[in-house]
Amino acid sequence: MKTGPKDGEISAGVLERLFAVIDGRRGTDPSESYTSQLLAEGTDRIAQKLGEEAVETVIAGTKGDRAAVISESADLLYHLLVLWAASGIAPDEVWAELARREGRSGLDEKNSRSRSTVKEADMAYDDDNVFAKIIRGELPCNKIHENDHALSFHDIAPQAPVHGLVIPKGRYISMADFAANASADEQAGLFRAVGEAAKALGLVESGYRVISNHGRHAHQEVMHLHFHIMGGRPLGPMLEGGPMPPSHRD
* pLDDT greater than 90 at residue 196: yes
Could you state, in order of their start, the residue ranges of all structural domains in the chain?
7-107, 114-231
What per-residue confidence (pLDDT) applies to 114?
A: 43
**Rounded to an integer, what distance in angstroms lies between the CA atom of residue 126 and that of residue 128?**
5
Cα dihedral 143/146/149/152 (nearest 10): -40
pLDDT score for 221: 86
**Is 2.120.10.30 the CATH classification of the domain at 7-107?**
no
Tell me whether the CATH fold assigned to 7-107 matches the one assigned to 114-231: no
What does the pLDDT look like over 134-186, one tens digit per residue? 999 999 999 999 999 999 999 999 999 999 999 999 999 998 889 989 999 99
User: What would the mean pLDDT of 98-108 be, rounded to a whole number?
Assistant: 66
Q: What pLDDT, on a 0 to 100 scale, did the predictor assign at position 119?
A: 41
pLDDT at 38 over 60: yes
Residue 90's contacts (CB-CB under 8 Å, 6 or more residues apart) are 19, 84
Predicted confidence at residue 240, as pLDDT, reads 60
Helix 34-41 × helix 7-23 angle, to 10°: 70
Question: Over pLDDT 70: what percentage of the chain?
Answer: 82
Residue of 79, 145, 224, 226 marked active site:
226
Catalytic annotation present for 226: yes
**Superfamily holding 114-231:** HIT-like (3.30.428.10)
| Mean of per-residue pLDDT scores for the chain | 84
**207: DSSP letter:** -
pLDDT of 59 over the 80 cut: yes
Taking only the tens place, the pLDDT of each residue in 197-227 is 999 999 999 999 999 998 878 888 899 999 9
